[in-house]
Amino acid sequence: MTSRRILIVCSLALFACASTQKPSVSNPFLQKSSLPFHYPEFDKIHDSDYVPAFEAGMAEHLREVQAIAHAPSAPTFENTVVALEEAGRVLQRVQTVFSALSAANTDPEMQKIEAQMAPRLAAHRDEILLDPALFARVDSVYQKRAQSGLDPESTQLIERYEVQFVRAGAQLSQKDELRKINQELSSLTTKFRQNTLKATKENAVVVDAVQELDGLSREQIGAAAEAAKARKLEGKYVLALQNTTMQPSLRDLTNRAFRKRLFEASVSRSLGGDADNTSIVSRILSLRARKAALFGKQNWALYTLEEETAGTPGAVNKMLGELAPAAVAKAKKDGADLQAIIDSEAKAAGTQSFPLAPWDWEFYAQKLRRQRYNFDEAAVKPYFELNRVLQDGLFYAANQLYGISFRERRDLPVYQPDVRVFDVIDAGGSQLGLFIGDYYKRDNKQGGAWMNSYVSQSGLLGEKPVAANHLNIPKPPEGQPTLLTFDEVTTLFHEFGHALHGLFNKAKYPLLAGSAPRDWVEFPSQFNEMWARDPKVLAHFARHYQTGEAMPQALLEKVKSSQNFESGFKTMEYLEAAMLDQLWHQLPATEIPQEGGEVAAFDDVALQKAGVLFPPVPPRYHTAYFSHIFSSGYSAAYYAYIWSEVLARDSGQWFTQHGGMTRANGDAFRDKILSRGRTQEPEVLFENFYGGPPQIGPLLEYRGLSTSPKSER
């Protein structure tokens, strides 16, 4: 046993034995932050602090774990499982902050550190989860759990630990091969993410003459000028890319050739050049398939979905298959309507018509929206000013539902001047935690929108949450308002649903506070979107940014009635991406493309075979920049958004049937869903709240895809 311990320690020469960077006593990660709720000391954190803190954190964690694994006393819940929950605090602090800032505010040095540390952190994790002595103790507690007198939450914790160790490979004989796979995967997924960030920045469209931006509003042109200024391109304009295939400006740009240029800049990201991702995708898929095989699974989806609420690829395929026909039919019907506008305009102008292309869809959909609803997005944006949406929309809805309130504070350090921090006060006056809002797009910030926790709630550790939301809203010039599209308003509500899930958590143990299936994690966020449409909430925040006047009732009704206008497009682009994810990860290992060109060609071929290829509506993400599944933990699980939305719309129906936005309903949802973490399995939590299994009908109705008379009204 002694020799085994020496081997473990010395095999970590990369971490501790050969460490050359010792942390200074002033390193901010070596002790808890002295700020309220252990909020990170951003003003004291420097790039040079990370590696020494990682080194010290891993060495400390390993010492703590080895003491647990080789304790002389018999294994118990307290000396094994609870001890593991308490271990590794320094590593947890540095890893949490570094991971968050790598996404929100990276720089070249951080990217080097990320590439350096990714395989080392993977090896560290494996060294713990693949340790036979440690697993023997965990398994012993697990096998005796029924006789241990544990409360239900503690029983759930030991069951989750058993699953974690087994799924990490604790029972495998090929542990060395698994370690190599995990380390290479961690390096490749990091490289994929960095390449995507690089390509997204490099593929931004630089414009010399403002005339090319015809159709954009004054605010949009100002944001493009501001983006150019940030790149030291004075006098020019930059249309920075969002992470998705379709770009917001495609809705307004009148120059068709320029729309095509913008679209092609988006879809060509990471296809060739020094940020090419195609060969990385091939290698990631091959390694995932091999790892699945080690666990006796035919493909990565089978391995991954065991831990999701869906359970099997068959269940996912069935759900996506049920949605696809209605989405395809609606998208094609809408496409025909758009083509009719193109043909009509060409005839009136005496010019030749052209077939509807992806870069035309949003532009002509805007025209069709105006025809059907006399509704223009530009007329609505002045009523959606960011701060008012935040204060009188997000925070107001949360107060009405849960009794919480928010108080902005400016005494805490931030990593960017635009970042805002709020105290979160519970109904009884006690403070729940802190909320951070980081809303503007930057070149050093990954695309999309997300939530993360800088400090996770834990009864065991006495921690209260520090939750953060991140969006990528184009920043207007100094002194101009930040006016949002309704899609951006909905995204704000979505991400805030994640934040509420973290803020309300009451789980005792860290693992149960933070581990949930992907197809459950998105449930609270999808649910919270409904309040952006709620008449009471919408009327409260939809006020003109200059006059403060409420949005006219007629315009308000148009906003609400037009929400399902592009349901076919939105559902279709999502389904295509979700199906791509499954098609990639259900491939047998022998069919995974080995050449970059084959990877690049896969999307259209696979979607055609699946019966969902409709060229005017491209997938929300093409493979080469599909970060969710190749670098962000959603591999074989991108379907989670739609699966979770089934739960969310069922819950919305429950609220409607029980009186809508009331404190009683909000408190019930908070008590049975938002505060529970994974103290029970998700399907049990849902049925305890909803009163039965989920139904797909409310989702189809919400998206305007149902054929019921009610949905057609």
77 neighbors 137 (Cβ within 8 angstroms): no
Longest dimension (CA), the chain: 90
How far is 531 from 493, CA to CA, in rounded Å?
8
213 neighbors 253 (Cβ within 8 angstroms): yes
- The helix/strand/coil state of 385 is strand
Per DSSP, helices labelled H in 515-595 are: 518-528, 530-533, 535-541, 553-561, 567-585
Q: How far is CA 249 from CA 264, 369, 634, 692, in A?
A: 13, 16, 28, 43
Tell me how long the chain is: 713
Best CA proximity match to 525, nearest among 606, 641, 679:
641
User: Which one of 463, 495, 529, 576 is the catalytic residue?
Assistant: 495
Best CA proximity match to 168, nearest among 124, 120, 118, 125:
125
Strand partners, 437: 420, 469
How far is 526 from 524, CA to CA, in rounded Å?
6
* Residue 41 a catalytic site member: no
Best CA proximity match to 168, nearest among 275, 283, 307:
307
How far is 32 from 277, CA to CA, in rounded Å?
39
DSSP annotation of 110: H
DSSP H helix total and E strand total for the chain: 31, 7
90 neighbors 61 (Cβ within 8 angstroms): yes
| Residues belonging to the active site | 495
